[in-house]
């Protein structure tokens, strides 16, 4: 069965060691590759991952264009790049349109690293540009490993979805890391994708299986959150929680391929 990893991270070669080391020290988790694109590709080869979605985060508005120049220059069919955006970037519509013209499928936003709440009206120019260009947003959702507080709360995402019903988005970490009861309350069954990044092993298997099925298996995708998790171990974990073969194919491949790769078969 082909596999797409819908949530990975990498950094330019000259920055990767510092970025990975700093994040590992701050959050207290280990990395499973060196944070470079080459390291990501090597990990994909080891674990039988056909494609990976690369999700960059701009922690300052001044980083947006340079990050986007870097990701759009990767030019490897195994990497599906998302663009970077920041709430305080002065010309989001122009930059998002430029990314769309280059074939980029969406952008990544991260409330904690960018100091915003998803329902804020100041996000409207970004959301409008994403909708107008037929793109999507991958949101960090929920807390951090060491910090349970969050602006990226399921109730805030529900309010955003009410205001922007045509906005296509993916809420990482099964809708909100450590806020899975609130996901059930505010987001379950809504037209929003969830990914499994950093959830297997941090949510009881029976609860993860129930959340996947109750939300709708057609709206859940495998994501590893690499380099912060081992993709092979995450896939193996998903295979043993009780999903049948058809459900596994949707979660490990079909849903992400339809959303990020344009539909159809990679092998046709």
187: domain CATH number is 3.20.20.140
Kindly state whether residue 147 falls inside one of the protein's structural domains: yes
| pLDDT of res. 25 | 74
Kindly state whether residue 138 falls inside one of the protein's structural domains: yes
Q: Among 59, 46, 51, which Cα is nearest to 15's?
A: 59
| pLDDT of res. 149 | 63
What pTM, to 2 d.p., does this model score? 0.95
Kindly state whether residue 109 falls inside one of the protein's structural domains: yes
Kindly state whether residue 121 falls inside one of the protein's structural domains: yes
Kindly state whether residue 202 falls inside one of the protein's structural domains: yes
Kindly state whether residue 67 falls inside one of the protein's structural domains: yes
Kindly state whether residue 267 falls inside one of the protein's structural domains: no
Kindly state whether residue 182 falls inside one of the protein's structural domains: yes
Alpha-carbon distance of 268 to 264, in angstroms, equals 8
Residue 227, domain extent: 4-260
Alpha-carbon distance of 195 to 6, in angstroms, equals 7
In tens digits, what is the pLDDT along the chain, a chain of 268 residues?
899 999 999 999 999 999 898 877 777 788 999 999 999 999 999 999 999 999 999 999 999 999 999 999 999 999 999 999 999 999 999 999 999 999 999 999 999 899 999 999 999 999 999 999 999 999 999 987 655 567 899 999 999 999 999 999 999 999 999 999 999 999 999 999 999 999 999 999 999 999 999 999 999 999 999 999 999 999 999 999 999 999 999 999 999 999 999 743 322 2
- Domain count across the chain: 1
């Amino acid at each position: 069965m082909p596999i797409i990893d819908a949530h990975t991270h990498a950094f330019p070669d000259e920055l990767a060691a510092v970025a990975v080391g700093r994040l590992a020290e701050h959050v207290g988790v280990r990395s499973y590759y060196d944070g470079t694109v080459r390291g990501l590709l090597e990990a994909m080869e080891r674990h039988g991952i056909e494609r990976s979605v690369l999700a960059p985060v701009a922690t300052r508005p001044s980083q947006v264009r340079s990050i986007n120049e870097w990701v759009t220059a990767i030019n490897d069919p195994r990497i599906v790049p998302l663009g970077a955006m920041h709430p305080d970037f002065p010309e989001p519509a122009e930059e998002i349109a430029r990314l769309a013209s280059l074939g980029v499928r969406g952008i990544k936003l991260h409330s904690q690293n960018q100091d915003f709440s998803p329902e804020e009206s100041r996000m409207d120019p970004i959301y409008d540009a994403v909708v107008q260009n037929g793109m999507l947003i991958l949101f960090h959702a929920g807390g951090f490993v060491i910090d349970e507080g969050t602006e990226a709360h399921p109730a805030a995402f529900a309010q955003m979805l009410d205001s922007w019903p045509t906005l296509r988005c993916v809420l990482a970490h099964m809708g909100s890391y450590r806020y899975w009861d609130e996901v059930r309350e505010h987001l379950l069954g809504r037209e929003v994708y969830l990914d499994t990044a950093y959830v297997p092993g941090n949510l009881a298997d029976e609860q993860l299986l129930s959340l996947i099925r109750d939300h709708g298996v057609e709206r859940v995708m495998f994501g590893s959150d690499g380099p912060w998790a081992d993709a092979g171990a995450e896939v193996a974990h998903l295979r043993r929680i009780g999903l049948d073969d058809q459900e596994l194919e949707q979660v490990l491949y079909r849903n992400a391929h339809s959303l990020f790769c344009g539909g159809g078969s990679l092998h046709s």
